[in-house]
């Protein structure tokens, strides 16, 4: 069996630390949620019944999903800190569960819909994760997913390659592989949309601070041991 790409406990810890400052720094993540919600609305499929927001984070999508018609919403996240922040929204019709996206504490065919924005890229095995999500989805239900594709953080990866060969950037599943996984899970793709979001940062330090603020720091196997240090960061400029 191959070594896991990253330790889920470390992923949970980094998002726990980021929970309080996440919403202030997560402009790209919020844009992805907004776009996914717009696509759901464009499909003109009435949201009803029970919906699960997998990797819900601070609950940014809760109110819009309820407004679109979700009758009952379950927010699931591996990071308890994120769920505590989400709970502060005090929304009726929302229940929160700390859970691994690969082992959902939900019954088979129990969800009318699944919503997940920028969580799937943290999966160790995309096919296994989507199979688990399909398990809880009702026949004819809707699954709305936003994820990241290869090329994300390309400039950062290129900058690090000038310094060492350690893994500094997450690998991302290709669109072809994602499509294959969805079909293998028995899901039918009714809408596929790709968008390039390219935020601008004053320098590398601002980018790295933003990644830390949203919990997207490097916990991959094969990363440089220890801290990168100020000297290495300066060499990225």
Q: Is the per-residue pLDDT at 145 higher than 90?
A: yes
* 31-73 pLDDT tens trace: 999 999 999 999 877 789 999 999 999 999 999 999 999 999 9
Query: What's the length of the chain?
Result: 237
* 163-195 pLDDT tens trace: 655 555 677 888 999 999 999 999 999 999 988
Three-state DSSP class for residue 175: helix
Angle formed by the axes of helices 204-213 and 154-161, nearest 10°: 120
φ, ψ for residue 19, nearest 5 deg: -55, -40
Q: Give the pLDDT of residue 105.
A: 98
């Amino acid at each position: 069996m191959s070594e896991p790409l990253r330790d889920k406990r470390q992923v949970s810890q980094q998002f726990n630390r980021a929970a309080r400052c996440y919403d202030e720094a997560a402009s790209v993540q919020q844009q992805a949620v907004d776009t996914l919600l717009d696509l759901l609305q464009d499909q003109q499929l009435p949201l009803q019944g029970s919906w699960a927001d997998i990797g819900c984070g601070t609950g940014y999508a809760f109110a819009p999903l309820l407004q679109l018609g979700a009758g009952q919403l379950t927010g699931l996240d591996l990071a308890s800190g994120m769920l505590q922040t989400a709970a502060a929204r005090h929304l009726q019709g929302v229940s929160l569960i700390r859970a691994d996206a690969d082992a959902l504490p939900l019954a088979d065919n129990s969800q009318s819909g699944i919503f997940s924005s920028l969580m799937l890229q943290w999966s160790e095995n995309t096919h296994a994760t989507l199979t688990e999500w399909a398990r809880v989805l009702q026949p004819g239900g809707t699954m709305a997913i936003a994820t990241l594709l290869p090329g994300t953080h390309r400039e950062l990866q290129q900058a690090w390659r000038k310094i060492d060969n350690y893994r500094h950037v997450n690998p991302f599943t290709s669109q072809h592989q994602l499509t294959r996984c969805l079909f293998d899970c028995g899901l039918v793709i009714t809408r596929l949309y790709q968008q390039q979001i390219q935020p601008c940062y004053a320098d590398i330090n601002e980018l790295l601070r933003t990644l830390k603020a949203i919990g997207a720091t490097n916990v991959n196997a094969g990363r440089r041991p220890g801290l990168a240090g100020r000297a290495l960061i300066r060499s990225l400029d």
